Structure 1
């Protein structure tokens, strides 16, 4: 496997974990579309199951295509090991099950993905694993939320969909004082823009469906850890026995998408900045939320943690749900769809879509109001995106 610690990240995204000499000279990573593997002998099978000999057994336990992906994402996030899952939620649930037991407590950033919130409710109802959602605005606030039974701190930054930021160094400082694990959902940034492990975080995860794939045709999740032994334990217990593993074909598609991540993210970010400048003074907009807005109250945190402002913008329109739906219904080029990170520009209404599972009172505490829309800025020409938005604004 190719490893070169001197490579820049853009180079590692194309080459890390793969040596064509080991695969009959194939330039592209081969797709090993197989469920199981043939042993040379019964004795070899015994040794592999006993862990005495390296090698493939069954694709739920390991697959050559998937292994390249796991090595590549580990390098991209500057971690020790990676694991690939069938969805982002499979990665979320696996790591939270790994770091908790019955009656434990989790401190969470107050804005989290709706299905993550749903999983936390399952943990609470079935295993009395409680959680508190806090703004994490200061180190003191985080400290105050820690209880004797707290085992981990779970963070999204930027927060979905309000674009609030969490100071990762402040979180890590508190975690170290209490021997807590820190988990960061880095989906909104991708490892090209932000690498939480470099701040001392323990685990970073992605819905790889989004920017890492970038083409809207894969459901997948990735997890990277800073401790190789702990990641091996997670692989051999929670991942193996829960079984939420990625298919070889989806891993192959992800590897193809990751090769172009840097150029795509640069374009997403450049387009988002242009769109932000258009929206911030629009007569039908109340407020725009974008991490690299120099008036953003957490702009200094954004500059410290993020390479660019990313490709996501949220904004509130003058009005409520009715006006938001009118705007969405009159768009043509901009597609009405949940998800993000695709080549196409996508818009959605979090209150009735991605965060609809969150009770209204809790949702509004997060800042997810009926007037809030989230826009994933695509790769189209900005003049065309703005023209489509402008004609739709005329209907509200």
Structure 2
């Protein structure tokens, strides 16, 4: 079954005599005891079962776990690690998960942040107690590309488990489990949801092993599970995922090329540009380059803010992956400890008409000195 067909038909678990085309929402928190029955909605629910089955199939894994947010999904992995474990993570790791490791797990886990776009840095960062390699590619917000296959091979040689954050690429464009990763993580809020109205997260595993069972234990006992309604909404949104991603990527590629040649832009970060330092790696492991790009304005943070304030079709807001275009000066959001350049702007390119998006950016750039 092709991806587009699976996305439409794979998430419907139809039961009952009336055979609805779309699986209804099961709001009941408890279930009558009988052989094979569910017990309690925190442990399992028909809508979550359908979503998890669909996500596992889309990522070509054996099982999936849906969470109430992407941060909850990432935290479940960290909570499943033995006390004192060492983690290697990217230096520009998504700041929400990085904040967890630096603040919430500071007395429980050790972590080394390094630039994983250069595999040699992994070799330097490995320690005797390293248990986990966390890959994020493309990365947020610098759009760095890490070689999943090479890094996974190095990790396996050292008995290190590999998790890959696949939020930006989605399984439409990248399949980390096929490249050597053990688990895939998603902020389902982003492209899976696709309309900026669902909060969720997910993990998909290559094998149902002891570590995965511990992750599921964290999910079900800890209770940060996705609600039946949000599961329903995600299944509904995923039906159009492949077509949305193709549109996002097409628009992002055109806008990246436009910005790359603009006199008021210092640099563009987008893996689809041939000038990207790891364009070759991206091309080898991705079938499309996604809908996110970042760029440096020639000027200071005030110039970047002025550009953003003069746009009509780009909403100045956090998050990404929706049908509408979003834009923000990322360092202003990440806080005083950010290493993101102050004049960097991240764009989640939407599905508005490309001409409108290009014209809007051009007029906005003309307003800065």
Shorter chain as denominator, the TM-score bin is over 0.9
Look up the match of 1:206: 186
Look up the match of 1:375: 347
User: Within the alignment, does 1:330 sit opposite 2:310 as a pair?
Assistant: yes
Look up the match of 2:78: 96
Look up the match of 2:26: 32
The Cα RMSD (Å) is 1.5
Counterpart-to-counterpart distance in 2, 1:204 and 1:223: 6
The alpha-carbon deviation at position 270 of structure 1 amounts to 0.7
User: Within the alignment, does 1:247 sit opposite 2:227 as a pair?
Assistant: yes
The alpha-carbon deviation at position 235 of structure 1 amounts to 5.3
User: Within the alignment, does 1:179 sit opposite 2:173 as a pair?
Assistant: no
User: Within the alignment, does 1:118 sit opposite 2:99 as a pair?
Assistant: yes
8 Å contact kept, 1:82–1:231: no
What is the SS of the residue equivalent to 2:204?
A: strand
Counterpart-to-counterpart distance in 2, 1:279 and 1:38: 59
Q: How does 1:276-295 map to 2 (within 5 A)?
A: 276-295=256-275
8 Å contact kept, 1:345–1:376: yes
What is the TM-score when the length of structure 1 is the normalising length? 0.90
What is the SS of the residue equivalent to 1:125?
A: coil
What is the SS of the residue equivalent to 1:188?
A: coil
What is the TM-score when the length of structure 2 is the normalising length? 0.96
Look up the match of 1:384: 356
Which structure 2 segments of 5+ residues have no match?
none
8 Å contact kept, 2:12–2:50: yes
Question: In structure 2, do the counterparts of structure 1 residues 28 and 221 end up closer, same or farther at CA, with 3 Å as the change threshold?
Answer: same
Residue deviations 1:208-260, cap 9 Å, x none? 01001101110000110011244761355211221110000000000000000
Say which is worse superposed, 234-243 or 58-67, in terms of deviation.
234-243
The alpha-carbon deviation at position 122 of structure 1 amounts to 2.7
The alpha-carbon deviation at position 140 of structure 1 amounts to 3.0
8 Å contact kept, 1:286–1:317: yes
User: Within the alignment, does 1:261 sit opposite 2:241 as a pair?
Assistant: yes
Look up the match of 2:14: 20
Counterpart-to-counterpart distance in 1, 2:180 and 2:210: 15
Look up the match of 2:53: 71
Counterpart-to-counterpart distance in 2, 1:302 and 1:167: 8
Counterpart-to-counterpart distance in 2, 1:347 and 1:313: 10
1:83 pairs with one of 65, 86, 105: 65
Which structure 1 segments of 5+ residues have no match?
1-6, 45-52
Pairs aligned (count) = 368
